Amino acid sequence: MAALSQTAASFIPSSGAQYSPFYVIGATIIAAGQPCYVDTAGLLQLTDSNGSIAASACDGLAALGGSVGQSARLVTSDANLVLGSTLVIGDTVWTHTTAGAITKTAADNTTGVGTCCLGVAKSTTVLNFRPLAAGALTP
């Protein structure tokens, strides 16, 4: 399945959202809501399920868009996150094999892919966002 379409302007963390400290962006973060990880140099990068185990983990979703060298932080968890995508209650949302993208099809995580579940849909717009990476590549 193709990556799930997100509308950055519709990505709205709730008042209960948890945030990371500020980091320097190491790769262009195109839009709010993209899954990111912090690399070994302490820079924000786009999560990529086709990358290494570290790159396939998701430390959070970009709170805002930005460019290389700018400062940004991540939404690290949020029980009532408006994701900016159309969901179905009970959908699980995963990182995708395209850097910075998400999917609601676990089958996209084929052999040799690092899997990270981002959360479960509570409504057609709200995700209970609690990222959990497998920490291994699929066999």
Identify whether the C-beta of residue 130 lies closer than 8 Å to the C-beta of residue 119: yes
The pLDDT value recorded for residue 111 is 74
The string of pLDDT tens digits covering residues 61-85 is 999 999 999 999 999 999 999 999 9
The pLDDT value recorded for residue 19 is 98
Identify whether the C-beta of residue 81 lies closer than 8 Å to the C-beta of residue 14: yes
The pLDDT value recorded for residue 107 is 63
The string of pLDDT tens digits covering residues 90-102 is 999 999 888 899 9
d(CA 6, CA 86): 8
DSSP 8-state assignment for residue 2: P
Identify whether the C-beta of residue 124 lies closer than 8 Å to the C-beta of residue 117: no
pLDDT tens across the length of the chain (139 residues): 578 888 888 999 999 999 999 999 998 888 899 999 999 999 999 998 887 788 888 999 999 999 999 999 999 999 999 999 999 999 999 998 888 999 987 766 677 788 889 999 999 999 999 999 888 777 7
